[in-house]
A = this chain, B = another copy of it.
Amino acid sequence: MKTEKVDKRQAILEAAEKLFCETGYEGTSTRQIAKESGANMAMINYYFGSKEGVFVEIMNERIAGFTSQLKIINEDKISALEKLHKVIEGYVNRILNNTAFHKMMHRELSLTQRPEMYDKIKDAMSHNMQIIDRIITDGIEDGSFNKVDVRMVIATIMGTITNIVISPHKVMSCSNFDLNNPKDKKIIKDRAVAHLQDLTTVYLTTKR
């Protein structure tokens, strides 16, 4: 069992994800995927049945790897604010470590097409939102948070992160930031976490 034996199936998935992220689903041809992965075109249909099968498989794997992540935090015996800060940190890290996929997910979400994918993404997002919702709602009920529009606060947290990922990097700062540069990514991550934690602290806990 040689380790240099490449798993064509996996190679196809990785090449396809890269190409889908860069040029979109419709903008990527099966021949491109084949060339990029080093596999023959027929292998795509052999393993996944169709081009869409590849896409569905990518989404399923990714989403499966995501939904299991945010759960544990809620068990800790820490304050609502600390929980929220942990969630923010986790969320920022996850998304900024998978910017390409996150872009692709949002692109797919904004299309009226492929309702199966839409529902799948919706469910995954919905689950994450429920976790954040619970933390904030609990904080409000036990009096440690102000009464706020919870769903809007969630939109702010998620929207801020998404905006950082999607918006042209050169717009983000005066100098030329690049999210593919690990050093720049670290800086952006820290700034985003600091900002969102500061923002939520002030907005949710300031007596007024």
How many A residues touch B, CB cutoff 8 Å?
A: 52
Alpha-carbon separation in the docked complex, A107 to B158 (Å): 17
Segment from A3-11, A63-71, A121-129 that makes contact with B? A121-129
Copy tally for this chain in the complex stands at 2
**What CA separation (Å) do A161 and B161 show in the bound complex?**
12
Q: Are B113 and A103 in contact (CB under 8 A)?
A: no
Q: How far is the CB of A174 from chain B (nearest CB, A)?
A: 9
> In residues 192-208 of chain A, which contact B (Cβ within 8 Å)?
192, 194-196, 198-199, 202-203, 206, 208
Cβ of A167 under 8 Å from chain B: yes
Q: Which of A21-29, A44-52, A74-82, A136-144 contacts its partner?
A: A21-29
Contact partner, A160, options B110, B155, B166, Cβ 8 Å: B155
The reply to whether A167 and B125 contact each other, CB–CB distance below 8 Å, is yes
Q: A155-208: which residues lie under 8 A (CB-CB) from chain B?
A: 155-156, 158-164, 166-168, 170-173, 191-192, 194-196, 198-199, 202-203, 206, 208
**Known: A24-B24, A202-B202. Contact between A155 and B149, CB under 8 A?**
no
State A203–B203 Cα separation when bound (angstroms): 6
Chain B residue at smallest Cβ distance from A128 = B171
Please pick, from B27, B129, B162, B202, the residue contacting A113 in the complex, using a CB distance under 8 A: B27
Can you list, as one digit per residue, whether each of A78-114 has a CB less than 8 Å from chain B (1) or not (0)? 0000000000000000000000000110110111110
With A125-B168, A160-B160 known to touch, is A27 a contact of B111 (CB < 8 Å)?
Answer: yes
Identify the A interface with B (CB < 8 A).
Answer: 22-24, 26-27, 103-104, 106-107, 109-113, 118, 121-122, 125-126, 129, 148-149, 151-153, 155-156, 158-164, 166-168, 170-173, 191-192, 194-196, 198-199, 202-203, 206, 208
